[in-house]
Structure 1
Amino acid sequence: MGEDDEEARALLEGSPGEDGRGASAVPAVPGALPALCDPSRLAHRLLVLLLMCFLGFGSYFCYDNPAALQTQVKRDMQVNTTKFMMLYAWYSWPNVVLSFFGGFLIDRVFGIRWGTIIFSCFVCIGQVVFALGGIFNAFWLMEFGRFVFGIGGESLAVAQNTYTVSWFKGKELNLVFGLQLSMARIGSTVNMNLMGWLYSKVEASLGSAGHTTLGITLLIGGITCILSLICALVLAYLDQRAERILHKEQGKTGEVIKLTDVKDFSLPLWLIFVICVCYYVAVFPFIGLGKVFFTEKFGFSSQAASAINSIVYVISAPTSPIFGILVDKTGKNIIWVLCAVVTTLAAHILLAFTLWNPWIAMCLLGISYSLLACALWPMVAYVVPEHQLGTAYGFMQSIQNLGLAIISIIAGMILDTRGYLFLEVFFIACVSLSLLAVVLLYVVNRARGGTLNYSAKQREEIKLSHAE
């Protein structure tokens, strides 16, 4: 008998059942550790879930490093807002292509384990190069670092989702996705509120502000990426071990990349793409520029501005799983998307044309952002055949990244030439286009008798009738 079979027998024969009966899984290991070592047990899967959550923490933490240090980057690197926003554009450019092929690379080239490790390495290397650009006062090097960081960031998210589908099934899958999204938002929130403070500590240690202080601060922030790489390595070991013991298949994304599928996309799907792009370009670029907006218009301190700029992520962390359950229970996806877009439009109007406490508008933005994600993305599965889902989601992410790259540059140019009021009007126009697309989607879906706005009860009845 081989070593793998002996390990499997020790775990599976010795593991206690659900009623608690049975011998110790590994006699030499005392206490609760046997459950942690057995990949068929809940305790082990919870350990894997913890590693999965922290797998993307570093990427999400470092993604918004520029937003948290907007003032410091522009001052220390002597760049205007247009150049500053290139740091976000360069992250998005590689993902215009890689969103299509990230799943393919995981399935057909690297495998989930090596793919996760490789993409984690890209994130780490990109953050280090980004930091070195600050240390050596080379903004082009910072841009290159963000490009490398972008190569790993989105594909790492695909790998994270693939691990999730491989380890968790059925009803628990939605909860796990919600927990991972919450951890991602926690990473962004910690970044917004920590990096400014960290910069001041490095500044005090060095005795002066400047590009060196900026670079060292970014390098320290990169420790979170190393943490994520460690999680990728441990996950790879545990997944390989579980495959040996439980004879389970290696995780796959299930994506079949066929660009010819694009010609078969329906009008409702294209409207969903328009909603996605026009909505998200009014959220992420705004957050990227928000810190200075709150200090200039509302007179907030740097710390208070960071706190309010991160409230969108703070709210998203606990509400995303809740809204996910709500949409699952009620259906009516188009109505929920409409509510989210209208609320976002109201938030930007308040920020642009009133002096009301911005906490009100930002809390509205946080709620609507969470609701839209839960209602919009699942709609793709209702209008696309299963064999085209990979292509549809890949295309959706690609045009989202294309929109973010272009709008980030345009937003920086508007801010340099016209100021924050014109920038807010521009964002209001983008959300208005998204609103128009939602209304058109409602009309088209109703005319075609589509399922996008069915209640959960109607969808269940259709599912049962098909099963019969």
Structure 2
Amino acid sequence: MSSGYEPIGGEVSERNCCYTCAHSKACDPHSRLHRYLMLFFLCFMSFGSYFCYDNPAAMQDIFLKDVHLTVSQFMNLYAFYSWPNVVISLLGGFLIDRVFGVRWGGIIFSLVIFGGQLVFGIAVMFSSVPLMYFARFIFGIGGESLAVAQNTYATVWFKPNELNFVFGLTISMARIGSTVNMNAMQPLFLEVGRSFNITGETQVGASLLIASVTCLLSAFCAVMLAFFFKRYLRASKPICIQESSLNTATSDSLTTCRQPPDALPENDLYESSPLLPSSSTPTVPQREKTIRLVDICRFPLAIWLICIICVSYYVTVFPFVSLGLVFFERKYDLAPSSAAAVNSLVYILSAFASPLCGGAIDCTGRNLVWLTVGILLTTVSHLFFAFTSSVPPALLMVLLGISYSILASSLWPLVGIILPQYQRATAYGLIQSVQNLGLGLVSILAGYIVDTKGYLFLELFFLLCLSIALASTLCLYLWDLNHGSILNSGGQRNSSKPVIVVETTDAASSTDA
């Protein structure tokens, strides 16, 4: 007679026992130590994308002089990055949710940015402006969708009370990529010219080809994340054991399944409590919990307000940095090297400040308060840029970097609070689609304003955009008050699970029936 527990099939598979990982917590997929080791790969997955995205900004004077671009053509390099992502970011998020999965999505899109950067370097070598635009178009397809995959990894792998810090750290590493680019590309350009005895477009193109190596680093990190995340999902599956019956005369047995300790099982990734308890809230079978494109129209108002805040704020940072090199040279009479250093301060400060801000927000909560503070500090920075030259530009860029860190660390985790896992990649794709629509339009408009009106009018335009961001934040605050203050409550809120506010089409159909 046997009264103990026996594994089904007589043995426990490696897949189901690996969570015990008796040798080290570092290899236990469900330990905090293992998760934070994986955070290394998560952070560097987008390093190459951010490094190469701002290659033109780091070499703005070189592109204007050696590649013979006008300011409008130069800004089109950013516009053609943004335009495809008006659709592709949303489609990429949907594909990650429904087709590729986050693992293959990360790998595929990291390889796309590598290919786009290679074509860009070749296009510059041959002085082909249309091919440059096409290359940035391809690079943009991969870059923003890779960011969607990164955000999705973060919300799946980390608990709600860790998300602000995790997002802050990923933003930090992205900004480090941009900072290294801002300070490395011009020395790299000079070294390439000396080493290979080349000049002009060939020298610029060769520098861009060397920069593409960072995209291979991103691809490597995507592959490593895919491997460890697959291991994590396998280890999260319940262990089913068979309790033998005490009555030896019968062969009846009871099958019991237990979940690995501290696991976030794959099924639970798609389950959460409803936002507002209601008897009309339908019960949706697990197999039906998949996103459909029509569900985007059912996203709550908060998601659309986040879209507006994101686009109206980000257009005051990235286009400004793209045009900042010449701005600092003209208004503050800085040498090119000094102007480049000042221009990169936003990225340097955010690299250090983002994880600190994220940790502070995790402790205090009040995401919307932090969000408002970030917008107000950015407004102060642009006011001084517009109307005075007496304040050192480095100080204003430090302020801009801190305010950007506050906003980014408090804004992006809100999606994980509002929506369940199976809708988040699509939601992040939607936000980045709207963001890239704004960045594409503003990149063209900013170049036109500088060419025809000057930098003062550009700063006035940025102040208008910040006013829109502030008004949208106030609307989001009112929405939150009407829905139980889930976004702006204290730090204890962060320990709760994310909530569902969107029904799938199937769920709605079953309710109607």
Q: Tell me which interval the TM-score lies in, with the shorter structure as reference length.
A: 0.7 to 0.9
Which position in structure 2 is the counterpart of 1:416?
451
Displacement of 1:136 in angstroms is 1.4
- Selected match of 1:217 from 186, 207, 210: 207
Please tell me whether the aligned partners of residues 106 and 253 of structure 1 are also in contact (alpha carbons under 8 angstroms). no
1:334 to 368, 371, 384: 368
Q: Which has the higher helix share?
A: 1
Task: Report the Cα distance in structure 2 between the residues aligned to 1:263 and 1:58, rounded to whole angstroms.
Answer: 33
**What residue number does 2:98 align with?**
108
- In 2, Cα distance between the equivalents of 1:321 and 1:196? 28
Moved more, 228-237 or 73-82: 228-237
Aligned partner (choices 368, 383, 406) of residue 441 of structure 2: 406
Partner Cα distance (2:208, 2:215) in 1: 11
Amino acid at match of 2:224: V
TM-aligned CA deviation for residue 460 of structure 1: 8.2
Write the mapping of 1:29-428 to structure 2, written as runs, cut at 5 A: 39=29, 45-169=35-159, 171-207=161-197, 209-241=199-231, 256-265=290-299, 267=301, 269-355=303-389, 356-380=391-415, 391-428=426-463
Q: Give the superposition deviation at 1:43.
A: 6.2
What are the superposed Cα offsets for residues 116-155 of structure 1, whole Å, 9 maximum, x if unpaired? 2211110100010011111111121111111111111122
* 8 Å CA contact 1:60, 1:187 repeated in 2: yes
Which residue of the partner structure matches residue 466 of structure 1? none
Q: 1:421 is aligned with what amino acid?
A: L
The amino acid across from 2:81 in the alignment is: Y
State the partner residue of 2:501.
none
State how far apart, in whole Å, the 2-side matches of 1:460 and 1:55 are: 26
Question: Shift of the alpha carbon at 1:456?
Answer: 0.8
> Which amino acid in the other structure matches residue 48 of structure 1?
M
The answer to whether the 8 A contact 1:162-1:251 is kept is: no
Determine if contact 1:333/1:375 at 8 Å carries over to the other structure: yes
- Report if aligned partners of 1:379, 1:452 keep a CA contact under 8 Å in 2: no
Say which is worse superposed, 98-107 or 343-352, in terms of deviation.
98-107
Give the CA deviation at 1:354: 0.9
In structure 1, the partner of 2:505 is none
* Structure 1 residue identity aligned to 2:406: L
Task: Say whether the 8 Å CA contact 1:166–1:250 is kept in structure 2.
Answer: no
1:133 maps to a residue whose letter is: A
| CA deviation after TM superposition for structure 1 residue 404, in Å | 0.6
Contact 2:354 2:409 in 1 (8 A): yes
Report the Cα distance in structure 2 between the residues aligned to 1:383 and 1:170, rounded to whole angstroms. 11
Q: Which amino acid aligns with 1:413?
A: Y
Displacement of 1:207 in angstroms is 4.3
Q: Name which of structure 1's ranges 148-157 and 204-213 shifts more when overlaid on structure 2.
A: 204-213
8 Å Cα contact 1:320-1:370 kept in structure 2 = yes
Greater CA drift, 157-166 or 71-80: 157-166
Q: What secondary structure, in the 3-state scheme, does the structure 2 residue paired with 1:342 have?
A: helix
Residue 436 (structure 1) shift: 3.2
Q: Identity over aligned residues, as a percent?
A: 50
Change (3 A) 1:457 1:115: closer
Q: In the TM superposition, what is the alpha-carbon distance from 1:175 to its structure 2 partner?
A: 3.6
Tell me by how many angstroms 1:353 deviates.
1.4
For residue 364 of structure 1, report the CA deviation from its aligned partner. 1.3
Cα gap change, 1:257/1:55 in structure 2, threshold over 3 Å: closer, same or farther?
A: same
Change (3 A) 1:147 1:10: same
Write the letter of the residue equivalent to 1:358: P
| 8 A contact 2:313–2:465 mirrored in 1 | yes
Q: Assess, with a 3 A threshold, how the Cα gap between structure 1 residues 95 and 257 changes in structure 2: closer, same or farther.
A: farther
Residues 107 and 250 (structure 1 numbering): CA distance in 2 closer, same or farther, change over 3 Å? Answer: farther
The total of aligned residue pairs comes to: 444
* Mapped contact 2:167–2:358 kept (Cα < 8 A): no
Question: Which amino acid is 1:277 matched to?
Answer: V
Deviation at 1:5, TM superposition (A): 7.6
Q: Give distance in 1, aligned partners of 2:491 and 2:17.
A: 46
Q: In structure 1, what is the Cα distance between the partners aligned to 2:72 and 2:17?
A: 61
- Give the C-alpha shift of residue 307 in structure 1: 1.5
Distance of 1:378 and 1:239 partners within structure 2: 20
- Cα deviation, 1:316-336, whole Å, max 9, x if unaligned, reads 122222222333333443333
Mapped to 2, the partners of 1:240 and 1:385 lie a distance apart of 20
Which residue of the partner structure matches residue 21 of structure 1? none
Contact conserved, 1:178 with 1:320, CA < 8 A, in 2?
yes
CA contact 1:312–1:365 (8 Å) conserved in 2 = yes
TM-score normalised by structure 2 residue count = 0.76
Whether contact under 8 Å (1:275, 1:437) holds in the other structure is yes
Point out which structure has higher relative CO (alpha carbons under 8 A, 6+ apart): 2
In structure 2, the CA distance between the partners of 1:236 and 1:459, relative to structure 1 (3 Å rule), is closer
Separation in 1, partners of 2:458, 2:79 = 17
RMSD of the TM alignment (CA)? 3.5
What stretches of structure 1 of length at least 5 have no aligned partner?
Answer: 17-24, 26-33, 464-468
C-alpha change, 1:68 and 1:253, in structure 2 (3 Å) is farther
In the aligned structure 2, how far is the partner of 1:250 from the partner of 1:297? 55
How far apart in 1 are the matches of 2:167 and 2:453? 41
Contact 1:257 1:390 in 2 (8 A): no
Q: Tell me the CA shift for residue 431 of structure 1.
A: 1.4
Is contact 2:80–2:136 with CA below 8 Å preserved after alignment? yes
Shift in Å, 1:218? 0.6
Q: Tell me, which stretches of 5 or more residues in structure 2 are unaligned?
A: 1-8, 239-264, 271-288, 498-513
Residue pair 1:127, 1:219 contacting (<8 A) in 2 also: yes
Does the CA contact (< 8 Å) of 1:133 and 1:215 recur in 2?
A: yes
- Is 1:438 the counterpart of 2:473? The answer is yes
Highest Rg: 1 or 2?
2
Asked if the contact 1:181–1:320 (Cα under 8 Å) also holds between the matched residues in 2, the reply is: yes
